Structures are given as structure tokens and as C-alpha cells.
Amino acid sequence: MVVEIPDVLTKSELAEVRRIIDAAELVDGRETAGELAAQAKRNLQLPQEGQAAREAGEIILKALGRNPLFNSVALPLRVLPPLFNRYEVGMAFDAHVDGAVRAMPSGGPRMRADVSSTLFLTDPADYDGGELLIEHAYGTSSVKLPAGSMILYPAGSLHRVSPVTRGARTSAFFWTQSMLKDDGLRSLLYDLDMAIIEVRQQLGHDTHGTLSLTGVYHNLLRRAIEL
């Protein structure tokens, strides 16, 4: 399931995140990659446990907490604090699959990576190239979103970032452990949730039918949830 979430950050939040990143010193992104990923990765990255990453990450985590679409898609149990990268001219990330297990910072517990997220922090007009290309059952999605918007996709998807040919692309990326590790089941529940919301909006009020469907959604979630 590949889902776009627009306007995750407000204009003021986006400006503050960019201010923090632009004032910080970035390092070679290969320093934080595993052996295989390092061979494919050519970018710059904010040090994961530095003050700048923590400050910018807190802004994003608060924004995610109030975003109903993120919670409907990901059904989050744990969210890894966001990381930040920049692709300048000639930089890219070749095809790869994200690792299945991630470590929380500062010696925290490990978590399963079910959902990958990329939050775009640069306006598309400010750079050429840099598309996020995600392979899935229906083909390949090419993603290049407005600053402040985010794409969610299964962490097991083969994906890559095409070379930047002009300007620079800055983004946040992170992983979520869902309460449901089965992406197909998450997709079905997301579709059901969206359908209920649409019908409720069309009617302008709840009916016995919408209430019954809401009960079906929550009872299915209750049976499938993993805590």
C-alpha cells in the first residue's frame, strides 16, 4: 500500500525544520548505512543522535500524532525518530530494501520496520531529479511531493532515489512498527476506514449502517492486533 499524506507539516513547522537542518553540519550518509546499503547510498545525512536531529524530529513526531490519515494507514505501535538527509547534484540511492529490524536511539529496544515514510522538505521546483521510485505489484510509483507532504509504503518494497541533477533535495525518513505486521490486512482495514468516513460525510450523520460498519472495523482490528 502506497499512500500520500499531504500537508503533514504546517508552513511554520516546515520552516523551523528546514532552519534547524540548514544550520547543522551533515555527514556522509554511508556512515549510518549497513554494508550492503553503503554500496548503494550517496547522500548527506544529519547525525542521528545529534541535537539538530532530535529537535527537528520532535516537531515531526508531534505533527504525526495529530494526523488521522497517518494513524489510519500505519496503525502505529512504535515510530522511529525521524532521520534527515540531503541529496545534492549527482547524489542518489540505488535500489534497495529497508532492513526488517531497526534499533531505537540511545540503546532503546529494537523494533520491526513495517512501514517506511519519506517526508519531503524541499519544494519540487527547487531541484530536478531526486524522485523516490517504489516498486510494487502494480508497477513503479514515481514520487516527488510538495514540501511538507509525505509518502508511506511497505518497508519491504524495493525502492530507490534517482540522481539529483539540479539543486538539492532535503527530506526526513523514518520507519513505523505497526500494530499489524501484515501489509495486506492493514490495506484492507485502511480501505474500510476510508469508506466509512466517505459514507458518513456524504450522509452528514451516522446511521445504524455506519455505526455497524465502524463496529466491524474495530472488531476486526481487535482480532488482528499485535501488542
Q: What is the pLDDT of residues 103-139, one digit of tens each?
A: 888 778 899 999 999 999 999 999 999 999 999 988 9
Residue scoring higher pLDDT (36 or 174) = 174
What CA–CA distance (Å, rounded) separates 84 from 42?
14
pLDDT of residue 153: 97
Residue 37: pLDDT band (50, 70, 90) is low
One domain for residues 86 and 195 = no
- Do 131 and 162 touch, CB atoms closer than 8 A? yes
One domain for residues 39 and 148 = yes
Residues near 84 by beta carbon (within 8 Å), at least 6 away in sequence: 21, 45, 46, 53, 56, 121, 170, 171, 172, 173
Residue 165: pLDDT band (50, 70, 90) is very high
* pLDDT higher than 80, residue 33: no
Average of pLDDT values for 52-74?
97
Residue 34: pLDDT band (50, 70, 90) is low
One domain for residues 217 and 143 = no
One domain for residues 163 and 214 = no
What CA–CA distance (Å, rounded) separates 190 from 14?
27
One domain for residues 75 and 126 = yes
- Specify the range with the lowest mean pLDDT, choosing from 37-41, 68-72, 220-224: 37-41
One domain for residues 174 and 187 = no
Q: Which of 5, 80, 9, 91 is nearest to 45 (CA)?
A: 91
CATH number for 54: 2.60.120.620
One domain for residues 57 and 78 = yes
Whole-model pTM? 0.93
One domain for residues 146 and 217 = no
Per the structure, the complete domain to which residue 198 belongs is given by: 183-224
CATH number for 220: 4.10.860
pLDDT of residue 77: 96
- Do 183 and 113 touch, CB atoms closer than 8 A? no
Residue 189: pLDDT band (50, 70, 90) is very high
One domain for residues 110 and 200 = no
One domain for residues 103 and 212 = no
One domain for residues 172 and 187 = no
One domain for residues 94 and 187 = no
pLDDT of residue 14: 98
For the chain, what is the domain count? 2
Average of pLDDT values for 151-174?
97
Q: Which residues pair with 27 in a beta bridge?
A: 45
Please give the C-alpha separations between residue 57 and each of 46, 81, 160, 166, 196, in angstroms, as whole numbers. Answer: 11, 6, 23, 27, 32
Place of cell 517506511: 116
If you average pLDDT over every residue of the chain, what do you get?
94
Other beta carbons less than 10 A from residue 202's beta carbon? 7
